[in-house]
Amino acid sequence: MPRWVAILTGPLARYNLAHESLWTTAADAARAAGLGPQERNPFRSIIVRAVEALQAVVEAIAIVDAYQPPDPPFVPVEPRAGRGYGATEAPRGLLYHRYDLAADGTIKAARIIPPTSQNQAAIETDLRRIVQANTDLDDAQLTRHCEEAIRNYDPCISCAPHFLDLEVTRK
C-alpha cells in the first residue's frame, strides 16, 4: 500500500520558495504585514496572496514598460497522434495535465491533477490538529473553524455543496 506524504502547493509554497526573489515593493509589503522569510501557517495564506497580487502588479508594470512586439505567437501545426504533458502554476498550486491525441488531433484521453488533490494529505492533517485542539468548541463553531482551514488551501472548495460533513462524538 502506498504511503501518502503531505505536500504543500499554492501560495505558502510559492512564497517560501521565492521569498528572496520578491521585488522590493512586495518584499517591503510582506515585512510590513509581519511575514517572515518562511510562512507555515495556512491561516496567513490570505496575506501571502495579497503580497503575490502586489508582486504581480509591479511585475506587470515592468513588463508593459519593457514591451517589444513579439514574433508571431504560433506556428502552424499538423495534427498527429501523440501524448502531451504540462504543468502550470494556478493560484491554488501546481496543475498537472496529460493528453493523448488521435491522428486527427482529437483528444482520446485526458488526465488532470488539480492542486486540491495534491494538498489533500496536508488539509486532512490540519483538520485533525484543529479538531483535536478545539474540542471545547460547539459543533457549529468547530465546523466553521474547519471550513476556514480548508479555504486557506482552496477558496473554491467551499463553493461545492456539502463539501464538509463534520460528525463529532464526544465522551
pLDDT of residue 157: 66
What pLDDT sits at residue 49? 93
pLDDT tens track, the chain, 171 positions:
566 667 778 899 999 999 999 999 999 999 999 999 999 888 899 999 999 999 999 999 999 999 998 888 888 889 999 999 999 887 778 889 999 999 999 999 999 988 877 788 888 888 889 999 998 999 889 988 888 888 887 766 655 555 677 777 777
Whether 74 maps to a domain, the answer reads no
35 in a domain, yes or no? Answer: yes
Please tell me the predicted confidence (pLDDT) of residue 162. Answer: 56
Distance of CA 142 to the CA centre of its chain: 24
Same domain, 15 and 61: yes
> Is the separation of the CB atoms in 40 and 125 below 8 Å?
no
On whether residue 77 sits in a domain, the answer given is no
In a domain, 131, yes or no: yes
Q: In angstroms, rounded to a whole number, what is the distance separating the alpha carbons of residues 111 and 51?
A: 32
- pLDDT at residue 143, rounded to an integer: 87
99 with 123, same domain? no
Q: Please give the tally of structural domains in the chain.
A: 3
DSSP line for 40-96: --GGGHHHHHHHHHHHHHHHHHHHHHT--PPSPS--------EEEEEEEEETTEEEE
- Residue 82, pLDDT score: 96
Q: In terms of domains, do 146 and 106 share one?
A: no
Residues 87 and 121 in one domain: no
Range of the domain at 28: 11-65
This prediction has a pTM of: 0.56
Residue 75 lies in a domain: no
Same domain assignment for residues 105 and 121: no
Let me know: does 145 contact 137? Beta carbons within 8 Å: yes
The DSSP annotation for 107-120 comes to EEEEEEE-HHHHHH
Domain membership of residue 136 (yes or no) is yes
pLDDT of residue 2: 63
Q: Is residue 2 part of a domain?
A: no
Residue 70 forms part of a structural domain? no
The verdict on 16 and 57 lying in the same domain is: yes
- Shared domain check, 91 and 132: no
